[in-house]
Amino acid sequence: MPSDATPDPYADPLKFGQRVQILRERRGMTRTQLAGLIGVSPHTLKKIENAQTNAPGLEMVMRIAEALRVRDLADLTGQPDMHVDLFTGPGHPRLAAVKAAVDTFPLTLSVEPPPVAHLEARLHAAWKARHQAPNHREVIGRLLPDLLRDAQALVRHADSSAERRAAQALLAQTYSLSQFFIAYQPDSSLLWRVAERGMIAAQESEDPHTIGVAAWLLAQAHRDSGPRHFDAADAVNLEAVRYLEPVLPDASDDVLAIAGALEFELGYTAARRRETGTAWRHWDRANDMAGRLAADYYHPITSFSQAIMGAHAVTVAVELHQGGESVRQAARADEVTIPSRPRRARHRIEEARGYQLDGQPDVAIATLEKAYRAAPETIKYNGYARSIILEEAESKQVSRRRRASELAVEIGILAA
C-alpha cells in the first residue's frame, strides 16, 4: 500500500482513535459533525482520535459506532473477538412474553392439554397469519405463549409412545414458529434455546418432515452466528439431506420441499463463503426438486416452491457480490408473485442489496419502499435493509437522502 494511502481499518491493527478518524473521513463527516452526533465537543473528539485521552467507555464506543454506521463493533475496535452485530433489530414488544413462555417448565400436570386436532388447527392458523399479516411478528407473538404452554402440556400428558411422538411433532413446530419470531432480535441465547429444543423435539417425533424443518432452522442459527459457524451449519444441513434422501422417491410434497429448502441452504452458505460454483450447483439441485412440485404448491414454513427459486437466485448472486447478475435475476424473479408477505418483503430486501451492489442506490431505496409496503416488520428487523437506509440517509443527493430518511422514520430507526 502506498505510504500516502489511507490505512484500511479492516486490515491494520490501528488504535481505536485512528479507526474513528478513518471511518469518519470515509463517511465524509467533519469532526464537528461527528462530535455533535455523539454529544461531545470537537476538541474532545480530537483528543479521542489522537489518543490523547483514556479510551472511552462502552457507552461512548456504542454512540460512536451508531453515528458512523459501523456494522460490526470489531471494525471499530480492531479486536476480532469483539464481534457484535450492531444491526440486530430492537426487541419486539411481545419478546418478553414469548421468552417467559419458552423458559417456563411446569413440573406438574395442572395444565389440561387441548385436543390434538385443536392445537393442529391453531398452529395452521398461526402459520397462515405469519404469511399473510404485514405485521406478522405482532400476530404470532400474541399467539405463541399459549401455543407453547399447550404444546408442552400435550407432551407431558401423552399416554402412549405414538401419542408422545405426535405431540413432540407439534411442539417442534411451535418452536419453529417461535424461531421466526425471535430471529433478528436482541436475544441470541433465546434463539439458540428455541432452535436446539426444536431439534430435540423433532428427533423425538421421528417424523422426517418435522426433523427436516428443525434442521433447516438450526442450520440457519449456526450460519447467522458468523463465518466461524458456517461449517457447523453445513454439517447440520448435510446430515438432514442424507437422512431424507432414502425417502425422497416416494416422498410427500412437504418432505420433498423441505429437502429442497435444505439443498438451497447449502448453496446459500457456499455463497456466503464466495464459493461460486458450489453455490450455484446447490441452487440447481434445489431447483430440480422444486420442479417436481405442483406449480401452485407452497411449503407452509420455508416458503419453498417453484415461485421462490427466482428469489433464491437473487440471494445467491447478492451473497457472491455479483451486482449485475443479481439485477438480472431480480428482473426474472419479478415475473412471479411470492404469496407470503414477509417472504416477499425479504425478497425485495435482497433485490435492494443487488441494486446497491450494482451502483443503483435510487432503485435500491425504491425497492425497500416496496418491502415496507409488503411487510413493515420484516424490513424493521432486517440488518441489511437498515444498513442501506442509514447509508443513503446520508447521501449527498438530496432527493435520495430525503426518501431514505423518510423510510428510516417510518420503520423507526430515525426520529421524526
pLDDT given at position 79: 61
Question: 210 or 334, which is more confident?
Answer: 210
Dist CA 201 CA 59 (whole Å): 40
For residue 208, give the amino acid letter. Answer: P
Dist CA 96 CA 295 (whole Å): 40
Quote the cell numbers at residue 194. Answer: 428455541
Dist CA 23 CA 333 (whole Å): 36
pTM for the whole structure: 0.77
pLDDT of 359 above 50 = yes
pLDDT of 291 above 80 = yes
pLDDT given at position 387: 81
Dist CA 406 CA 375 (whole Å): 17
Q: Which of 45-49, 113-117, 247-251, 280-284 has the highest mean predicted lDDT (pLDDT)?
A: 280-284
Burial class (CB in 10 A: 0-12, 13-18, 19+), 313: buried
Question: 119 or 89, which is more confident?
Answer: 119
Mean predicted lDDT score pLDDT of the chain: 87
Burial class (CB in 10 A: 0-12, 13-18, 19+), 32: exposed
Lowest-confidence region among 80-84, 122-126, 281-285, 294-298: 80-84
The per-residue pLDDT for range 124-157, each reduced to its tens digit, is 999 999 999 989 999 999 999 999 999 999 999 9
pLDDT of 243 above 80 = yes
Dist CA 274 CA 295 (whole Å): 31
Question: 196 or 392, which is more confident?
Answer: 196
Question: 275 or 79, which is more confident?
Answer: 275
Confidence of residue 105 (pLDDT cuts 50, 70, 90): confident
For residue 338, give the amino acid letter. Answer: I
The proportion of the chain whose per-residue pLDDT surpasses 70, expressed as a percent, equals 91
